[in-house]
Structure 1
Amino acid sequence: MTDVLGLTRELVALDTAGRAEDDAIAVLAPRLQDAGFALDVVRLDSGRSTLVAEWRTDLDVPPLCLSGHLDTVPLGAAPWSFDPLRAEPDGDRLHGRGTSDMKGGVAAIVLAAIAAATGRPRRSGLRLVLTAAEETGSAGAVGAAVRLTGRPSGPLVITEPTANAVAHGHKGALWLTARATGVTAHGSMPHLGDNAITKLAAATTRLTDYRFPGDPHPVMGAPTINVATFHAGLNTNSVPDLAEATVDVRTVAGQDHTTVLADLAACAGPSVALAPLVDLPPVWTDPHQEWAASVADAVADITGVPTGEPVTMTFFTDASVLTPAFGGVPTVICGPGEPSQAHVTDEWCSITRLAESVAVLERLCRDWCGL
């Protein structure tokens, strides 16, 4: 059977930067089908699909769900020291785009699930959701959630990069467009126009200075807001009649995005229109919840790293879609990649952690299924 290093390298060799997730599915689907998984391909766009693979979901207890995404971000403009599509080992490091975020995590899911599926489950089965288009707002997870409507699900494991630590959730992402309009005029007669830039600049300054009500979350900390882009202007000698910005808001458990948007719109003022680009809620599972605690115990046992204080991630995952779609199931994020390596030049993942991840996930599968 293919080892996790080999399968990760095979996946990294495929360029899935915002495209061609079907190429990855072509590698993974036959392995899962041969292991007895029933496959369902959920089409998103040409060449872009999500794979749902299920094993023994006919048993009394809803299946454990393991999920990861197949797309990556582009390479960027900076030169790489390693071929980003070769996944070349360098000691314990495996370099390449997606090694940490998150083809290593996907490879671990698939191999752990295949290993577990050699047994006879007494209690439950497995569901794998390997998604397209996570990096741009979880569109593939949305399609999978629609397809899985009405099918009960057990807990959810997302193998995004955590260096095999257990994270009990992550912040939400509310990305907004901010738009101001005005009236153009000749630059020598600005009093005849209405400058959209000054309106939007004042509003984005107010948003940057905005302080969210309430106390910080005890684990996630405080929500954040960042004005990320600003585009405006016709030419130097014209009054601009349109200005647009994007705003990245990261929310914490307990915040309602509808309320957050209304509060930020009031802060921006009536001359600026705010509209959602991405609306993904935060995810939080109590570390003392029985299954979540058992995950932490398994990870500590296999990695040899004692369980520390509860942590969450700042980045969003497909759990923002899948967890509520599955009825608020207990959810953890735990994967072999390095959080600091997501989206960077010369991205790498620890080969040791890849093997640990397979062992952790196989343990979770066997425990949940009663193998």
Structure 2
Amino acid sequence: MYPDKKVTMTARLDARVLTRELLAYNTINPPGMERACARHLGALLETAGFTVRYHEYAEARTSLVATIGGSDAKAPLCFTGHIDTVPLGAAPWTKDAFAGETDGDKIYGRGSTDMKGGVAAFVAAAVELAPHLARGPGLVLVITAGEEIGCEGARYLADKKLLGRAGAIVVAEPTGNFPYVGHKGLCWFEVETRGVTAHGSMPEVGDNAILKMARVIDDLGHFHFPVESHPVMGKPTMNVGTIRGGINTNSVPDAAAITIDMRTVPGIDHGHLCKSLQTLLAPRGARVRQLVDCAPLYTEPQTEWMQTVFEDCTPFLEGRPTPKTITFSTDGSDLKRGFGGGVPAVILGPGEPTLAHQTDEWCSLHRIEQSVDLFRNIARRWCDA
């Protein structure tokens, strides 16, 4: 039976209860306002013996970095997750999005799958292991604000050099407890065209920015990425996601804009990508501006640590995992950069990838409990090796 009580510090923190507590914090981004949720987690970790530091990149946009143990010989293992969520959407929910309602094995709420269930699981595992981590490499937990819109919290921690050391990273995003070896990079661009307004009955007097944009979109169909494919990730992609222009029907529009979502693979430099777009579209008088920049995340599957993670995951799956990458981007690429690069990373958590951002989002309670066991095993192997 699912317990209906407040979390207390015991030998094993119940991750299901903690998930419910985290869901009660409305951290929809925008505006995020993750401070109260981060402080709640920080208090639990401090009680367990972690050293906790809070970092805000804007008012109440709070991330935390919690550490325990430490060794000069080996860097700690990092677990990471974000506590902001996406909006509820236009469709009505049949469950309270912030109450952690349960139905059988499912716990409902915005962020249950993406990814407060994952955060609760690694915090519970870390609290249980805390008494044994004073010596050795230990753990660093990075719990971030602002992931859903451009990984702002993780980028701030990396840019300000607030992360310290880590030897490997577990990103507890929703994967159904399947270990993914990486994800594509993410680049968002805005492309603008300008014209001259005029009365709609005299279009020859004006310069139509929307017609210019139509030619821009046609040109994008001829764009070629510098790397055509990756053996695990597949091909890079491009999608025109939004378009706007004009103020009324009977005027020649003097401005138009589109936004472009590009998903990239290793070997594609995002700065060069922006310059290539500008070169392609400059003859149309278009201006390109980069909005979001998240690098690809990839660890070679044959890496020794990745193979041990595959081994730890096997009992929870239908067989030994094969190398795969996830479709969405994560904080992992910024954190990897902040830890100095070259750090192996795996994306692994209890949530269901297909339920992220959905109405009536839910997470399996059984999977959350499995994740606690899985994360504990991964941490023990790292710290005892």
**TM-score normalised over the length of structure 1:** 0.96
| 1:70-110 Cα deviation digits (max 9, x unpaired) | 10001011011111111211111111110100000110111
From 211, 218, 226, the equivalent of 1:198 is 211
Q: Counterparts of 1:316 and 1:199 in 2: how far apart (Å)?
A: 32
Residue in structure 2 matching 1:75, options 67, 84, 88: 88
Q: Which residue of 2 aligns with 1:145?
A: 158
Q: How many pairs are equivalent?
A: 370
- Given candidates 47, 52, 59, the residue that maps to 1:46 is 59
Are residues 1:365 and 2:372 paired? no
Q: Tell me, in whole angstroms, the C-alpha distance in 2 between the residues paired with 1:148 and 1:116.
A: 27
- What secondary structure sits across from 2:64 in the alignment? strand
Contact 1:52 1:144 in 2 (8 A): no
User: What amino acid sits opposite 2:304 in the alignment?
Assistant: E
Contact 1:42 1:147 survives alignment (8 Å): no
Equivalent residues of 1:182, 1:195 under 8 A apart:
yes
- How far apart in 1 are the matches of 2:154 and 2:169? 13
Q: How does 1:29-40 map to 2 (within 5 A)?
A: 29-40=42-53
Matched residue of 2:300: which SS? coil
Q: 1:121 deviation in Å?
A: 5.2
1:43-91: CA deviations, max 9, x gaps?
1222211011011135431111110001000101101111111121111
Aligned residue number for residue 110 of structure 1? 123
Give the percent of matched residue pairs that are identical in Structure 1 and Structure 2. 45
**Corresponding residue for residue 274 of structure 1:** 288
Which whole-Å CA distance do the structure 2 matches of 1:346 and 1:193 have between them?
A: 49
CA distance in structure 2 between the aligned counterparts of 1:150 and 1:70, rounded to whole angstroms: 18
Deviation per CA, 1:167-195: give whole Å up to 9, x if none.
00001110000100111111111111111
- Residue of structure 2 aligned with 1:300, choices 314, 338, 344: 314
Pick aligned residue for 2:17 from 6, 27, 44? 6
Instruction: Indicate if the aligned counterparts of 2:34 and 2:61 stay in contact, CA closer than 8 A.
Output: yes
Query: Quick check: 1:343 aligned with 2:354?
Result: no
1:102-153 per-residue CA deviation (whole Å, 9 max, x = no partner) reads 0001101111111111214553111111000000001100122234458332
Q: How far off its partner does 1:23 sit?
A: 1.6
**Matched-pair contact (CA < 8 Å) for 1:167–1:311:** yes
Query: Whose strand proportion is higher, 1 or 2?
Result: 1
Report matched runs for 1:124-139 at 5 Å: 124-139=137-152
Cα distance change of structure 1 residues 43 and 213 upon mapping to structure 2, 3 Å threshold:
closer
| CA offsets 1:237-264 (integer angstroms, 9 cap, x no match) | 1111111111111111221112222222
SS at match of 1:365: helix
Question: Which range moved further: 51-60 or 4-13?
Answer: 51-60
Q: Is the 8 A contact 2:178 2:317 kept in 1?
A: no
Residues 121 and 369 in structure 1, CA contact (< 8 A), matched pair in contact too = no
Q: How many Å apart are 1:29 and its aligned residue?
A: 0.9
Call closer, same or farther: CA 1:58–1:213 in 2, change over 3 Å. Answer: closer
Q: For 1:336, give the aligned amino acid.
A: P
Secondary structure at the aligned position of 1:128 is classed as strand
- SS at structure 1 position matched to 2:198: coil
Taking only aligned residues, the RMSD between alpha carbons, in angstroms, comes to: 1.6
Q: Which residue of 1 aligns with 2:7?
A: none
Q: Per-residue displacement from partner, 1:289-325 (whole Å, max 9, x unpaired)?
A: 0111111111113x14312321101111001211122
Q: Does the CA contact (< 8 Å) of 2:245 and 2:257 recur in 1?
A: yes
Matched, 1:240 2:253: yes
Counterpart CA distance in 2 for 1:203 and 1:89 is 49
Contact kept, 8 Å, 1:100 with 1:348, in 2: the verdict is: yes
Contact 1:203–1:269, Cα closer than 8 Å, also in 2: no
Q: Report SS of the residue matched to 2:343.
A: coil
Partner of 2:370: 356
120 and 256 in structure 1: CA distance in 2 versus 1, 3 angstrom threshold: closer
The alignment partner of 1:197 has SS state of: helix
Does the residue aligned with 2:181 lie in a helix, a strand or coil?
strand
Distance 1:267 1:286 in 2: 34
Contact 2:210 2:255 in 1 (8 A): yes
Write the distance in 1 (CA, Å) between the matches of 2:144 and 2:162: 16
Give the aligned residue type for 1:310. P
Q: Output the CA distance in 1 between the equivalents of 2:323 and 2:223.
A: 28
**How do 1:188-337 residues align onto structure 2 when only pairs under 5 Å count?**
188-208=201-221, 210-270=223-283, 271-301=285-315, 303-326=316-339, 327-337=341-351
Deviation at 1:235, TM superposition (A): 1.4
CA contact (8 A) 2:178 2:321 kept: no
